[in-house]
Chain A
């Protein structure tokens, strides 16, 4: 097989509560990359020397002389040469010498062709939990691997002749479905304000390319006199903004990490108390996200290690009040986008038309019914709700009972929270709601794209500094444009030609 691919990496294990996550690297540079990141207890690198199909104990370190072929000199002075030499890790501790220890790992090496992909494969077994596994993957990417596209390991395994023909169809299905999921994740999880920002950055870049290109295409009509200075200014700004975005991505605020959870219910059903209960008990608010509407409160919660993005909505009832009506409409919209719905039912009040309305919003979404105010006199039973749901069945299509569970709570007394947590955990780890590792990967993908855009813009500045002719700028500007487009799921296509014609008056 003459195909030689670049080196890819991804988290190979599904996110689970077991705590172990495997980062898999495949390709020509797999061993080299792992070698640059992993140290023995004494601080020495050893992966290159490992025999195939063996496993060893070591530490993933950061700033341990990571190879970095991006142009900027950043970190070159700090990333000392010390890592390759001795200096015990224990002693070096958090010092610069051996770099910071990120995780204690077991690393296995499978040399080509005796591996899953028939390429060199290294697997790093991380023990520090989800966040640490993600950090290790990031280091691997920074060391020169590319984030694998959905299903890419399996694709390579097939193309390299590792998987037999009978399984080809399954491979195609896998790529197809995983990709659909990733595409959806990429665009839906991007925070609204950021998506607008990225769009505007892209527009600015495209304008510059179009200007250069139209001047090259029609030199008699459009002049590039004094343009390099102007581009210097623009690229400074662009770089600053992208660095800002990278920081945002670094903090995990780039995307709505977590399961999009919407609390629905009639007014006074106890929705807000429920939210307070969750928040108050856990005291795990990571951030409140800006840009949410005034009428729906959005909170970021961590329940037993699972990120929830909880949106508390206005109570739903048939109303003539304009403002309230808008709130209800919004709730409807949130429900449509939700991964999980928490429906708070006030069991002390009889079911009515409004409950029917809410049930219709739920559709076939995963829903947990919280039968609230269990301490008061009960006017509603599980049975009643189920029969109401049965009535909606033809509209929903699937059997709604497959999608729901019921918990009896009393927000006032903090009752039922544990059951709720268990229930969410169950849904989540059994893959019945939006997988969280997908979310995490999305964030990484975005970071990778931002980093690529940044590198491209730095190359533009390099060209400016070297006084290269104008046409050299547009090559790297285009790269930056395409990279940012990856985040938004937008292709380059004929954008440039469109922009040239719409913004610049071409001759003849």
Chain B
């Protein structure tokens, strides 16, 4: 045998945002890891929009960072503009978004990968997964009919759910890498097809080589694949754009970093601008006149596209009453003239694209560097996965990113991290990382992916998180850093930061609740000046902060003990300088938490109560091998759905459409009976 044969712990297939996080997590946890990519030059490529974060996606990045992921740190190194969205709205929906220098982002991530111990980068197309059948006693009698019937006959919990075990991967050149776990992060590359009007190429994004072979191997393993599509707008030559006809969009004056480990002072810098313009009737007329040449409307595209980033054709057709649509021009980087045309993705032919773009004010003389296109690719319905992101039927096979039917860099990165961590946890025999809907947006993301029948690429939205008041971007570290530390991806130093932060927040909140002011003249004058009602009796600072017209900052002038309290905090044993400003005050990182916790206490308590209710069912776990045919009194529809999704808890079962509360009750009792009769034996 002349082919290459290597033995490693983990193989990660794909080096996009999911693959990078998965590979880094595994390597950092001490596992020998290989990351495969069709092109080393495309590591952490951003083939669509040149930004990271945004509404709810900003939350994801911060959570990822709190767990020990890389994306937040990487964007902090390479951003060229930063903005906190929704600042005028509630704290739960504040969301950070940064424009990236795409080339720098990719280069910086590659550098992180290259300098990571235990991690090998390999440019190769993985064509095949290697696997074993897991033998069980029942499976020896291979002759009988359907698997279903067999399960019934045996009725045994030993029939298990894992049917196979992954043992390695094989590349196009025949090299074999034996391993204990594989993480699939193939993004949009599987059997990818790009469409620009009538012109069709069989490539991945940006003309990169598609992965054409792996699909067959996955099918042979019993994995069901589906086809999704997405699209991207054109890139313009910036020198041909007339910015004087557009509105300039600046970054924030004070930049907030994504990563909890980044020192805010270190990233205050000159920022690039984006530009806003609008489509008009002329644009829409051209689109309408050429709809028959759009591959989507002509029926050439079979994949299901996302409704949340519709092509401009879709917008014009579905919202025909709108006279204009916003168009954002965003720089692709500092060392290129290329501009991304946000809001105008399209799969119309090249000539129509050019005509249509040129109707937009400021783009009259534009030259297109790269055409807009739509891309179709193979992915899975993630109901085949546990919420650990491991395949239910294949031990050691994990998946993350767009392969799971999601969309977006941030969604991908988060899944990659969770898949990577759990691959490591399995190999090391440690507890899996599973977050529920009340703990993180990542928990919501994964739960939605594995329990819902998603029919389009899944994008995160704040409205998907039921308990978003608790899942704020500002407290992601407080929610998750402890977990990251336990896993081993958060350093001791970072963990001590967290402990200090908690102590400071707690102390200052307590001070606000305990310090009371009387209804004296000075206070009444202060209140009057702020348009606030006079006090009848003494009130605590916390009570005053709850008033909409007052804030922690405003109370400064009547808060005589503040300076003294700050001094006491600074001399605390675990005090860390990063939480104090240069003049010795508590930093905004702490004060924001204090203010939010006090101001919205009523709502937060209400939401916490809901979470308690929710957790009750969530804690009731369902054995993976439960035979639903043995559960009496389930409705037929519920039985089918439960068999299909195999939920891990009663809570998850209750979220599957077609499973009623009564079915959950029935299941609850069945599990209880089973448990009791087993403990009796």
User: Among B55, B56, B89, B633, which residue has its beta carbon within 8 angstroms of that of A176?
Assistant: B633
CB-CB under 8 A from B668, the residues of chain A are 155, 159
A-B contact pairs, 27 of them (CB 8 A): A3-B616, A150-B662, A165-B680, A169-B632, A169-B633, A172-B632, A173-B632, A173-B633, A180-B662, A216-B463, A217-B56, A218-B55, A219-B55, A468-B548, A469-B89, A470-B90, A471-B89, A471-B90, A471-B462, A471-B468, A474-B463, A475-B603, A497-B464, A500-B463, A501-B308, A505-B310, A508-B308
CB-CB under 8 A from B633, the residues of chain A are 169, 172-173, 175-177
CB-CB under 8 A from B55, the residues of chain A are 216-219
User: Closest CB-CB distance, B556 to chain A, in whole Å?
Assistant: 22
With known contacts A149-B661, A216-B89, A176–B635 Cβ distance under 8 A: yes
Residues B669 and A217 in contact, CB atoms below 8 Å apart: no
Q: Which of B39-47, B259-267, B670-678 contacts A (4 or more CB under 8 A)?
A: B670-678
**How far, in whole Å, are A238 and B634 apart by their CA atoms in the complex?**
37
**How far, in whole Å, are A216 and B452 apart by their CA atoms in the complex?**
23
Q: Which of A8-16, A45-53, A330-338, A488-496 contacts B (4 or more CB under 8 A)?
A: A488-496
A177's nearest neighbour on chain B, judged by CB, is B633
Query: Which residues of B, 288-338, contact A by the 8 Å Cβ criterion?
Result: 307-310, 315, 318-319, 322, 325-326, 328
Interface: A355 (CB within 8 A)? no
Residues B461 and A469 in contact, CB atoms below 8 Å apart: no
CB-CB under 8 A from B309, the residues of chain A are 506-508
Query: Which residues of A, 217-236, contact B by the 8 Å Cβ criterion?
Result: 217-221, 224
Most A CB atoms within 10 A — which of B49, B665, B676, B677?
Answer: B665
User: Among B469, B548, B661, which residue has its beta carbon within 8 angstroms of that of A475?
Assistant: B469
How many B residues are at the interface, by size bracket? 35 or more
Interface residues of chain B, those whose CB is within 8 Å of chain A, are 49, 55-56, 85-86, 88-93, 307-310, 315, 318-319, 322, 325-326, 328, 342-343, 345, 452, 461-464, 468-469, 548, 603, 607, 616, 631-635, 657, 660-662, 665-666, 668-670, 672-673, 676-677, 680
Interface: A467 (CB within 8 A)? yes
A491's nearest neighbour on chain B, judged by CB, is B657
CB-CB under 8 A from A217, the residues of chain B are 55-56, 461-463
Interface: A295 (CB within 8 A)? no
- 19 more A-B contacts (CB under 8 A) besides A213-B463, A219-B85? A149-B662, A149-B665, A165-B676, A165-B677, A165-B680, A168-B669, A173-B633, A179-B665, A180-B662, A213-B462, A217-B55, A217-B462, A218-B55, A219-B86, A221-B326, A496-B463, A500-B463, A506-B310, A508-B345
CB-CB under 8 A from A183, the residues of chain B are 660
CB-CB under 8 A from B310, the residues of chain A are 505-506, 508
With known contacts A213-B463, A496-B463, A165–B326 Cβ distance under 8 A: no
**How far, in whole Å, are A404 and B504 apart by their CA atoms in the complex?**
79
How many A-B Cβ pairs are below 8 Å? 133
CB-CB under 8 A from B657, the residues of chain A are 491, 493
A224's nearest neighbour on chain B, judged by CB, is B89
User: Closest CB-CB distance, A465 to chain B, in whole Å?
Assistant: 10
CB-CB under 8 A from B92, the residues of chain A are 471
Residues B463 and A176 in contact, CB atoms below 8 Å apart: no
Those 9 A-B pairs whose CB atoms lie nearest each other, nearest first: A469-B90, A508-B309, A179-B662, A176-B633, A213-B463, A168-B673, A501-B307, A172-B633, A471-B90
Contact flags (1/0) for A441-469 with B, using CB distance below 8 Å? 00000000000000000000000001111
Chain A interface residue count, CB cutoff 8 Å, equals 49
With known contacts A159-B668, A168-B673, A176–B662 Cβ distance under 8 A: yes
Interface: A327 (CB within 8 A)? no
**How far, in whole Å, are A475 and B605 apart by their CA atoms in the complex?**
13
With known contacts A175-B665, A176-B662, A508-B342, A471–B452 Cβ distance under 8 A: no
**How far, in whole Å, are A183 and B92 apart by their CA atoms in the complex?**
37
Residues B86 and A176 in contact, CB atoms below 8 Å apart: no
Most A CB atoms within 10 A — which of B660, B666, B680?
Answer: B666
Residues A172 and B670 in contact, CB atoms below 8 Å apart: yes
Interface: A472 (CB within 8 A)? yes
CB-CB under 8 A from A506, the residues of chain B are 307-310
CB-CB under 8 A from B677, the residues of chain A are 165
User: Closest CB-CB distance, A74 to chain B, in whole Å?
Assistant: 20
**How far, in whole Å, are A348 and B513 apart by their CA atoms in the complex?**
89
Residues B669 and A171 in contact, CB atoms below 8 Å apart: yes
**How far, in whole Å, are A434 and B634 apart by their CA atoms in the complex?**
23
Contact flags (1/0) for A202-218 with B, using CB distance below 8 Å? 00000001000100111
User: Closest CB-CB distance, A179 to chain B, in whole Å?
Assistant: 4
Residues B343 and A158 in contact, CB atoms below 8 Å apart: no
Residues A471 and B672 in contact, CB atoms below 8 Å apart: no
B607's nearest neighbour on chain A, judged by CB, is A475
Interface: A416 (CB within 8 A)? no
Interface: A192 (CB within 8 A)? no
CB-CB under 8 A from A177, the residues of chain B are 633
User: Closest CB-CB distance, A444 to chain B, in whole Å?
Assistant: 17
B316's nearest neighbour on chain A, judged by CB, is A505
CB-CB under 8 A from A87, the residues of chain B are none
Residues B307 and A220 in contact, CB atoms below 8 Å apart: no
CB-CB under 8 A from A129, the residues of chain B are none
Interface: A151 (CB within 8 A)? yes
CB-CB under 8 A from B616, the residues of chain A are 3
**How far, in whole Å, are A370 and B606 apart by their CA atoms in the complex?**
60
User: Closest CB-CB distance, B612 to chain A, in whole Å?
Assistant: 10
Most B CB atoms within 10 A — which of A3, A171, A469?
Answer: A469
User: Closest CB-CB distance, B557 to chain A, in whole Å?
Assistant: 23
Residues B670 and A168 in contact, CB atoms below 8 Å apart: yes
Residues A471 and B93 in contact, CB atoms below 8 Å apart: yes
**How far, in whole Å, are A177 and B669 apart by their CA atoms in the complex?**
15
With known contacts A505-B319, A506-B308, A175–B461 Cβ distance under 8 A: no
User: Closest CB-CB distance, B547 to chain A, in whole Å?
Assistant: 9
Residues B308 and A175 in contact, CB atoms below 8 Å apart: no
CB-CB under 8 A from A500, the residues of chain B are 461, 463
User: Closest CB-CB distance, B132 to chain A, in whole Å?
Assistant: 39
CB-CB under 8 A from A151, the residues of chain B are 662, 665
CB-CB under 8 A from A155, the residues of chain B are 665, 668-669
Residues B463 and A497 in contact, CB atoms below 8 Å apart: yes
A218's nearest neighbour on chain B, judged by CB, is B55
User: Closest CB-CB distance, A275 to chain B, in whole Å?
Assistant: 38
User: Closest CB-CB distance, B519 to chain A, in whole Å?
Assistant: 22
Residues B603 and A158 in contact, CB atoms below 8 Å apart: no
CB-CB under 8 A from B93, the residues of chain A are 216, 469, 471
Residues A505 and B669 in contact, CB atoms below 8 Å apart: no
User: Closest CB-CB distance, B52 to chain A, in whole Å?
Assistant: 14
CB-CB under 8 A from B342, the residues of chain A are 507-508
Most A CB atoms within 10 A — which of B56, B91, B672?
Answer: B672
B57's nearest neighbour on chain A, judged by CB, is A217
Residues B669 and A172 in contact, CB atoms below 8 Å apart: yes
CB-CB under 8 A from B665, the residues of chain A are 149, 151-152, 155, 175, 179
User: Closest CB-CB distance, A156 to chain B, in whole Å?
Assistant: 10
With known contacts A471-B93, A475-B603, A508-B343, A220–B326 Cβ distance under 8 A: yes
Residues A172 and B307 in contact, CB atoms below 8 Å apart: no
Most A CB atoms within 10 A — which of B91, B548, B662?
Answer: B662
With known contacts A158-B672, A219-B55, A172–B666 Cβ distance under 8 A: yes
**How far, in whole Å, are A472 and B319 apart by their CA atoms in the complex?**
28
A167's nearest neighbour on chain B, judged by CB, is B673
Most B CB atoms within 10 A — which of A150, A159, A183, A471?
Answer: A471
Residues B86 and A216 in contact, CB atoms below 8 Å apart: yes
CB-CB under 8 A from A3, the residues of chain B are 616
Residues B673 and A165 in contact, CB atoms below 8 Å apart: yes
**How far, in whole Å, are A57 and B672 apart by their CA atoms in the complex?**
39
User: Closest CB-CB distance, A89 to chain B, in whole Å?
Assistant: 37
**How far, in whole Å, are A279 and B670 apart by their CA atoms in the complex?**
50
CB-CB under 8 A from A219, the residues of chain B are 55, 85-86, 89
**How far, in whole Å, are A178 and B55 apart by their CA atoms in the complex?**
44
User: Among B452, B469, B607, which residue has its beta carbon within 8 angstroms of that of A494?
Assistant: B452
With known contacts A176-B635, A507-B326, A158–B307 Cβ distance under 8 A: no
CB-CB under 8 A from A475, the residues of chain B are 469, 603, 607
